[in-house]
Amino acid sequence: MRYLEHHRSTGDLLDAALAETALGQVGQPVRPEALDTITDRVPDFAGARKRALVHALFTMLGAAPGREDWDPRAFDVSALHPWAAVQVTAVKAVLGRTAGKPLPCADALDLLASTQRRGTVWEGNLLIHLSVLHALADLPGMGATVEEGLGTALLHQREDGGMPFVTDTDTWCTVTTGLALHAAGAPRPLLHRVARYLVTVQQEDGGWSYTDRARLSDTDCTSVAIEFLHQLDPRAYRDSIRRGAGALIAVRGADGGFPTYGAGTPSEACMTAAAVNALSTQDHLPNGVMGSALHYLANSQDQGGCFPPGWSRSRLHTLFRVHLAVSHAGRPTLPPVRAMQERITSLVCAAQREDGGFGLQDGSRSDAISTSYALIILAAGYPHPAPAVGAARYLLSHVRADGSVDSPPDMVGPRPFPYHVPVLADAFTLLALGHLNSRIRPSRPMAEGPRNGGARPFERTAP
């Protein structure tokens, strides 16, 4: 309760409404606009499911928002990865109980109960774990299961009184930080220690998950792991790289794009860009993989240069990854791809603020992590150095004395809820500065002065 009291004035309408409801400070159903905020924060294919999830969260807190005519996609599990299937099943059970519907069928109960094991949070996902407990609460024969599950959840309560939505994001942080450390020129023995750890947590299917507690691999972690291992030592880690690339190809969609989780699930722009960046390291790929992925990206972009919402609150996250994907794929001359690049450049040019920084969205204040994303684009080939200099100056002003970076939360999970892992801001800032540094030759004196004996000025090469 102390944690919720401290965080109920976050400025985020949905978060504030949930905190106030949990504290018993809302005497009527939550306002519709709090529910409507999810529609512009998640991809279209997830909108119906996420609206049902938010309804279920308020229902769990005793403030059911009211009945809706649900889109059938809200509870369709036929094309969902395992995490989403369990979450949807729990949500349907919670909402069904409120609506006076019959108990979940035996198969649904078996699925929910199968996630419960004393001391273990299934797939490391505490939100799903707690949603399942709410779905099973008060059902005949489930009392002991719910009690044990609650005890397991409480093992993860933090010192501040709050609960995380996952047990950890260690693997995602490791691949991201590893790539950043490599870009910044960290000592190779340190980088190999990181690489050896990643090899030990590679999944049986060849991919990587956000945590070694999970078994469902994802495109994001897999792609960055491949990039890092390839940049560090493609020969030493060739087997892990090959298996990772195979895992990516296995989930490729018929539309040429790549999903976050599992074959047959919807492709996403950010994940497709990540996969292109990884697969560009491979010499032998099935015909058409890179070209169709780039066309998918070009078709996903709107006229303003943005892409559909992904796993970041910042629109610049997908932009920098697409920008790099085009560069790595080596096909910027294709007209749709060239037009996509030009729209990205135009958006970034227009988005820089007077302080040199960039914001999460149009109209939001500058922040370090969005500025990092933008700087990667600016350092990659923007013709004038001034924007990159301004962005770098802004970033350096937000680095604390201990080297950490002052930045708001950026990643979202489950979408649309933001979560804060501070090391990610450090990693992306380091990655951006590494990209910039690779474009700069240090100032140096000439070996010999002019013949008249006068001193020659230091030479400089702009980004």
Active-site residues, by number, are 220
Specify whether the CB–CB gap between 366 and 357 falls below 8 A.
yes
Q: Which residue has the tokens 């005497």?
A: 27
Specify whether the CB–CB gap between 213 and 167 falls below 8 A.
yes
Intra-chain end-to-end CA distance of the chain, in Å = 51
Specify whether the CB–CB gap between 34 and 13 falls below 8 A.
yes
Residue 441 in 3-state DSSP? strand
Amino acid letter for position 202 = Q
CA separation for the pair 115, 99 (Å, rounded) = 25
Give the tokens for residue 180.
């950043």
Task: Find, among 313, 317, 268, the residue nearest to 44 by Cα.
Answer: 268
Give the tokens for residue 108.
């649904």
CA separation for the pair 195, 149 (Å, rounded) = 35
- For 239-256, give the DSSP string: HHHHHHHHHHHHH--TTS
CA separation for the pair 66, 410 (Å, rounded) = 31
CA separation for the pair 77, 87 (Å, rounded) = 10
Task: Find, among 335, 340, 362, 336, the residue nearest to 351 by Cα.
Answer: 362
Residue 358 in 3-state DSSP? strand
Q: What is the DSSP letter of 413?
A: S
CA separation for the pair 3, 22 (Å, rounded) = 11
Task: Find, among 437, 436, 456, the residue nearest to 446 by Cα.
Answer: 456
Residue 302 in 3-state DSSP? coil
Residue 233, phi then psi, degrees to nearest 5: -165, 90
